[in-house]
Amino acid sequence: MTLNDIVVSLEMAEKLKEAGYPQENGLFYWVCRRARKYSNEKDCWYILEYSHTSNFKGDNIYAAPTASELLGKMGNLSINIQDVGIRGRYCIGGYSLDDPMMYLPLFKRNNLSDALAQMWIHLKENGLLEDK
């Protein structure tokens, strides 16, 4: 298992940042080291631990939360996680423990962290997250 299997994808990290996911105090970050010598060369994105990210700012860095970090920011929910068994595909859903009638839609992704990120974005966009 690699870090790519543990943290959200770059695409989902960008969406989380746009949705207002906290960018500080994470364990891992997607960072971009732009090629200085060849300005038209494609940007290079990779994952670093927080302690190695001091030189990256703005659009060159995105928090890359793990499933555990995302779960810690979800509030009082009961979340059901299923490994569908098709190339590691995950399906998650759940409901609020504060309001058992509030069911969440299903979120399906190949990476568990990405599925939980989709759920976090849904909760944020619908005003269902407590500030943590």
Helix 10-19 and helix 112-125, axial crossing angle in degrees, nearest 10: 20
Q: Which stretches in the chain have pLDDT values below 70?
A: 34-43, 84-88, 100, 131-132
**Measured CA angle at 29 (ends 23, 35), to 5 deg:** 115
pLDDT of residue 127: 86
pLDDT of residue 42: 54
Q: For a pLDDT cut of 90, what percent of the chain falls above it?
A: 36
Put simply, whether the predicted model's pTM sits higher than 0.85 gets the answer: no
